Structure 1
Amino acid sequence: MDEDTSLTAVEVAELLKITKNTVYVLVKRGEIAAYKVGKKLRIDKKDVQEYITNQKNTNNNQNSYSKTITKDNVFEPENKIDEKDIIISGQDVIIDILANSLASKTNDIRILQSKLGSYLSLYELYNDRVSIASAHLWDGDTNEYNTAYVRKLLPGISCNIINLCYRTQGFYVAKGNPKNIKTWSDLLKKDISMINREKGSGTRILLDEKLRLHNTSRQYIKGYNIEKTTHLSVASSIARGEGDVGIGIEKVALQVSGVEFIPLQIERYDLIIKRSDLIYPVYQRIIKIIQSQEFKDVLEGLGGYDLKDIGKILAQT
Structure 2
Amino acid sequence: MNNELSYTIEEVAQLLKVSKLTIYDLVKKGELPVFRVGRQMRMHAKDLEDYITQKKSTISHPPVVFAEKATSTKESSQIVISGQDMVLDILGRHLEKATTKKILRSHAGSLNGLISMYKGECDIVSVHMYDGDTGEYNLPYIKKILTGFPYVLVNLLCRKAGFYVQAGNPLNVQSWEDLKRKDITIMNREKGSGARILLDEHLRLCNISTREVAGYENEESNHLSVASAVSTGAVDIGIGMEKAAKLVGVDFIPLIRERYDLVLLKTNENAHFVNEVMNILTSKSFQSEINAIGDYDTSQTGSIMYETF
Q: 3-state DSSP class of the match of 1:125?
A: helix
The percentage of aligned residue pairs carrying the same residue is 39
Q: 3-state DSSP class of the match of 1:113?
A: strand
Give distance in 1, aligned partners of 2:57 and 2:140: 25
Q: Which amino acid aligns with 1:211?
A: L
The residue aligned with 1:46 is 27
Match of 2:128 among 136, 160, 170: 136
Match of 1:272 among 256, 263, 279: 263
Give distance in 1, aligned partners of 2:214 and 2:138: 29
Is residue 2:292 matched to residue 1:301?
A: yes
Contact 1:198–1:228 (CA<8 Å) still a contact in 2? Answer: yes
TM-score (norm 1): 0.80
Give distance in 1, aligned partners of 2:56 and 2:195: 20
Match of 2:67 among 80, 88, 92: 80
Give distance in 2, aligned partners of 1:104 and 1:311: 18
The residue aligned with 1:287 is 278
The residue aligned with 2:44 is none
Contact 1:163–1:313 (CA<8 Å) still a contact in 2? Answer: yes
**Gapped regions of structure 1 (runs ≥ 5):** 35-44, 53-67
Contact 2:223–2:244 (CA<8 Å) still a contact in 1? Answer: yes
Aligned residues: 276
Q: 3-state DSSP class of the match of 1:129?
A: coil
Give distance in 2, aligned partners of 1:214 and 1:250: 23
Change in Cα spacing, 1:146 to 1:69, as seen in structure 2 (3 Å) is farther
The residue aligned with 1:106 is 99
The residue aligned with 2:171 is 179
Change in Cα spacing, 1:100 to 1:76, as seen in structure 2 (3 Å) is closer
Contact 2:127–2:262 (CA<8 Å) still a contact in 1? Answer: yes
Q: CA RMSD in A?
A: 2.5
TM-score (norm 2): 0.82
- Following superposition, the deviation at residue 287 of structure 1 comes to 1.5
Give distance in 2, aligned partners of 1:144 and 1:266: 11
Q: Which amino acid aligns with 1:7?
A: T
Change in Cα spacing, 1:288 to 1:69, as seen in structure 2 (3 Å) is farther
Give distance in 1, aligned partners of 2:78 and 2:286: 22
Change in Cα spacing, 1:279 to 1:10, as seen in structure 2 (3 Å) is closer
Deviations 1:147-202 (A, max 9, x none): 11110111111211100111100110001111111111111111110011111110
Deviations 1:111-147 (A, max 9, x none): 2111111001111111101111110001111100011
List aligned pairs for 1:169-208, cutoff 5 A: 169-208=161-200
Q: Which amino acid aligns with 2:301?
A: I
Change in Cα spacing, 1:277 to 1:176, as seen in structure 2 (3 Å) is farther
Give distance in 1, aligned partners of 2:105 and 2:89: 8
